[in-house]
A and B are shown apart, each in its own frame.
Chain A
Amino acid sequence: MKTKEQFSITYFLTRPFFFGIIYSQIFGLSETDSIISCLLGTIIGLFIIFLISKMDYSDKKFKTIQIFFYLFLFILAISSIETYASSFLLTKTPKIIIIIPAIMLVSYANQKDMSVIKKCAFIFAIISIFSTIIICLLLSNYLNIQNILPFFSHKPLNILKSAMIFGVMSASPNILLKDENIPLKNHLIFYLITTIINTTIAFLTLAILTPDVAKIYSYPEYMVLKRIRIFEFIENIENLSVLIWYFDYFFLLVYIFKKMQEIIKKRVIFFIIIIMTTLLTTFFIANDFYITIWIYKYSSIIISTFLILFISTLKHK
């Protein structure tokens, strides 16, 4: 049972930044070669996880860097939730009212024990994998492999850039799992399975919408779901299928809260920091497109600098 729970939490912590941030950037940079950049990105991600397992937590400098890193992940997650919910599901509600129930739910879950959250993660992992399999089967009717050929027809620099984006953004939240003592071999296998699922989703979106069309959308993995049609009667179920991506954000936020509370020991200061950052993101970052697009574009570079700072604390053995 322990391995099953560890699989489900790695599954949820590698997935969150795919929706809205990774896919659109990869499709824009390397159009038909996105599959190759995904495969290269998994290799980079596996290497990053190997480095994470060698890190040492006992440095004091490490803790201050950790707080800023978790705050940045928190800002990115909250702005992502707000833009996605307010562009598809609830178009007229102000963003502050969208984010308040999410924060309340996460702080309620924060009071529970870690073992409860892991049991919860296992159930949600079953639901999520089952629904992605059904959606992939329903979409496979519209596949056209001619849309992806030919391979290796774009600049190698773009392919490498998109591979870096893929690897860094998907492997970096795994730093939150340092205390779980997952053995290295299992961790690598779990990460590999999750990225295989995500590359099949990228493959399907590219093969159904051609790369030219997928380039112009800002949420291509959502636009693909509009093509599902069952029995010529059930259609337009994209708003239901998109809710699966929310579970990843929930678990990411719960883990961020837990780890930050271990470092900042007093509850009052912790709540003040959380409330100030949510107000900051909703009123200054999410409502102003200038800053939002800047953050999305350069998020991978900021996260990779944090990773380099972490890796510099490696003890030489």
Chain B
Amino acid sequence: MKKILLIFIILFLTGCYDYMEINDLGFITAIGIDYEEDTYKATFEILDDSDDIQKIKSESKTISNLFDNISLIISKVPDYHHLKTVIISKSVAQNHLKELTDFLIRSPEIRNEFLLVVCEGTSPLELFKKDSKESIGEKIAKLIKTSKNQTNISYDRSFEDILEKILNKKMEATASVITLENDEITLKGIGLFKGYNYKYFLDTKKSSLLNILNKENTNYSIFIENMETKIYESNVKYDFKENTVTININAKAKIIENTTQMDLKDNKNYLIIEKKLNKVLENDLNDLINNLKDNNIDAINLNDRQYKKTRKNRNNYLKNADIKINIDTKINWKGSIFQIDEN
């Protein structure tokens, strides 16, 4: 019996098919994809055991050849487990997103926690031209994450979340948008998708309002006649009745700068300020909703919300519905001083 076991153990020594040395791997952290004149063009950013970060270009007519052509140039086996961002150009986002998502989801090596970012204005391949020691994939990911506390104009969710919204027919997907300004990567706003097709992007004001309505982070600054305030926390609720929607918002605001003559030690002044805030906010929100209605994109997912509460399957809900907004802000932070007096 033991001799048979020994023979079996000798058979095992011919194994080790999956053995991979760690310095044979090239870790890809960012990919930029563009589509011009019937070919896909891409740049890959690869980290390996040398000191520089390598940026490899490849071109092909199909997506799988695009990813395979790296091996013609670099001598490392590509490893996609540390992929941080995928930057696509406007032409890919408008027409070819479906093939790209199918390829990325189907391969088990790619972890779907990367960020999908759309690049407006320039081709994404130009972002990789700088000779720097910093990896662009990590830089964009951290930029989107850390900007939430100051200017809340980006969408910080992974690719799987975007996929959920695309596959669900009652929701529309959104993604962050970046450009190259003065040789620096800057955030621009939130881009809107209809199905698998990219339409346009909202400016900074409308992007932060969209984040408020979608119950993501809240950070919106309002300027009223010599006073600057900021809304930093909000609670949004939707009420659905026959063809009318009421959006109830409870928000908290802070006073950032005050050069009016109002006496902040008097408590009646706060009610006046709050009324003004409510009006300005309501106007801005109505602007956003009219914009969405004109372009027929349901970026605030009203169709899905009403389905979960009333179970009625409706198409084109946003166009036909009547939307009312009730806002209630309360100021509860004014800083260390009451006011600077000129007398």
Contacts and interface: CB of A to CB of B under 8 A. Distances in A.
Q: Does a CB–CB distance below 8 Å link A and B in the complex?
A: yes
A91 B17 CA distance: 9
Contacts of B167: 210, 212-213, 216
Given A94-B17, A149-B308, A153-B311, A209 B164 contact: yes
A213 B308 contact: no
A94 B160 CA distance: 31
Interface stretch (B87-95, B106-114, B132-140, B281-289): B106-114
A216 B105 CA distance: 10
Contact of B8 (A91, A100, A209): A100
Contact of A88 (B17, B108, B111): B108
Interface in B153-176: 160, 163-164, 167-168
A226 B8 contact: no
Contacts of A153: 311
Contacts of A235: 113
Contacts of A227: 113
Contacts of B112: 223, 226
A150 interface: yes
B81 A236 contact: yes
Interface of B is mostly: helix
Interface of A: 87-88, 90-94, 97, 100-101, 104, 146, 149-150, 153, 209-210, 212-213, 216, 223, 226-227, 235-236
B18 interface: yes
Interface string B297-315: 0000000000111010000
A92 B8 contact: no
Contacts of A209: 160, 164
B113 A226 contact: yes
A226 B111 contact: yes
A97 B15 contact: yes
Nearest 7 pairs of A and B residues by beta carbon: A212-B167, A93-B17, A92-B17, A210-B164, A149-B308, A90-B18, A212-B168
Nearest to A87: B108
22 contacts: A90-B17, A92-B18, A93-B17, A94-B17, A97-B12, A100-B11, A100-B12, A101-B12, A104-B8, A146-B308, A149-B308, A150-B309, A153-B311, A209-B160, A210-B167, A212-B164, A212-B168, A213-B160, A213-B163, A216-B105, A216-B167, A235-B113
Contacts of A146: 308
Contacts of B18: 90-93
A103 to B, nearest CB: 10
Given A212-B164, A212-B168, A213-B160, A236 B111 contact: yes
B17 A150 contact: no
B308 A150 contact: yes
B105 to A, nearest CB: 7
Contacts of A236: 81, 111
Contacts of A101: 12
B216 to A, nearest CB: 13
A206 B174 CA distance: 22
Nearest to A88: B108
B28 to A, nearest CB: 15
A213 B108 contact: no
A129 B286 CA distance: 52
A76 B311 CA distance: 40
A235 B84 CA distance: 13
A284 to B, nearest CB: 22
Contacts of A149: 308
A213 B307 contact: no
Nearest to A213: B164
B111 A93 contact: no
Contacts of A97: 12, 15, 17
Contacts of B105: 216
Contact of A93 (B15, B160, B164, B307): B15
A219 to B, nearest CB: 9
A216 B163 CA distance: 11
A36 B160 CA distance: 26
Contacts of A92: 17-18
A316 to B, nearest CB: 47
Interface in B1-36: 5, 8, 11-12, 15, 17-18
B203 to A, nearest CB: 29
A223 B311 CA distance: 29
Contacts of B163: 213
Nearest to A94: B17
Interface-central residue, B18, B307, B309, by most chain A CB under 10 Å: B18
Contact of A150 (B5, B15, B307): B307
A210 B163 CA distance: 10
Interface in B168-195: 168
A92 B16 CA distance: 9
A91 B20 CA distance: 12
Contacts of B164: 209-210, 212-213
B18 to A, nearest CB: 5
A94 B307 CA distance: 48
Nearest to A152: B311
Nearest to B111: A226
A213 B5 CA distance: 46
Contacts of A150: 307-309, 311
A154 to B, nearest CB: 12
A244 B329 CA distance: 51
B116 to A, nearest CB: 15
Contacts of A100: 8, 11-12
Given A90-B18, A226-B111, 20 more contacts: A88-B108, A92-B17, A92-B18, A93-B17, A94-B17, A97-B17, A100-B12, A104-B5, A149-B308, A150-B307, A150-B309, A150-B311, A209-B160, A210-B164, A210-B168, A213-B160, A226-B112, A226-B113, A227-B113, A235-B113
